[in-house]
């Protein structure tokens, strides 16, 4: 557990790169794009815990079509600022076989986690795989997977807020910040 003053020091030393208003407008736009593409398909929506919880919570009420919901928990970061080995904590409880699956995640960084999720979901028999990420980090090199729906592009910096954490903190911010 970190002292509150350390958390405030992190936030006060960061730069806001996307306001809460832009975040809200972006969620609405992505919901419209997903509705147009998947509205008639009754997909199984899988939220990637814990980063996608805020994005998922704000997106789902704006999806104007029937869907099933479940979650998965896989991470490469834990509370670190650099990715490590893939850690599968929870697989989908819902049967994905024969289903159209939409995976929601907070960020597409190097793409390794989303590529592994895509592979796992397709190996489990999904009929189709789609992904929506709230942020796509512009890392300047090819990624093994692209998201079908992207909210915002962010610079190649460590970003946090709106579900993304920094040392386990500040997922609850309505805006997006970057460490300096």
Which CATH number fits the domain that encloses residue 115? 3.40.50.2020
Q: Which residues have C-beta within 8 Å of that of residue 30, sequence separation ≥ 6?
A: 59, 132, 134, 149, 150, 151
CB neighbourhood size of 63 (10 A): 18
Beta strand pairing call for 100-108 and 44-49: parallel
- Give the three-class secondary structure for 151: strand
How many independent structural domains does the chain possess? 1
Catalytically annotated residues: 109
- Residue 50 banded pLDDT, cuts 50, 70, 90: confident
Residue in 18, 2, 35 with CA at minimum distance from that of residue 134: 18
Phi, psi for 96 (deg, rounded to 5):
-95, -10
- Bridge partners (DSSP) listed for residue 9: none
**Domain enclosing residue 40, as ranges:** 4-179
CA distance 176 to 160: 6
pLDDT for 82: 57
User: pTM of the predicted model, to two decimals?
Assistant: 0.92
- Residue 40 banded pLDDT, cuts 50, 70, 90: very high
pLDDT for 80: 52
* Alpha carbon 78 to chain centroid, angstroms: 14
- Residue 81 banded pLDDT, cuts 50, 70, 90: low
pLDDT for 93: 81
């Amino acid at each position: 557990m970190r002292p509150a003053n350390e958390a405030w020091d992190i936030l006060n030393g960061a730069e806001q790169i996307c306001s809460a208003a832009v975040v809200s407008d972006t969620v609405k736009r992505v919901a419209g794009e997903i509705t147009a593409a998947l509205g008639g398909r009754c997909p199984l929506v899988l939220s990637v815990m814990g980063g996608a919880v805020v994005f998922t919570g704000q997106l789902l009420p704006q999806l104007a079509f029937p869907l099933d919901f479940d979650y998965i928990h896989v991470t490469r970061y834990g509370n670190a600022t650099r990715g490590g080995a893939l850690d599968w904590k929870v697989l989908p409880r819902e049967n994905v076989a024969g289903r159209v699956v939409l995976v929601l995640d907070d960020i597409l960084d190097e793409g390794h986690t989303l590529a592994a999720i895509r592979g796992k979901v397709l190996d489990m028999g999904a009929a189709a795989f789609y992904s929506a990420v709230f942020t796509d980090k512009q890392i300047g090199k090819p990624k093994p997977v692209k998201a079908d729906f992207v909210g915002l592009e962010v610079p190649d910096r460590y970003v946090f807020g709106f579900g993304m954490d920094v040392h386990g903190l500040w997922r609850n911010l309505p805006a997006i910040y970057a460490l300096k």
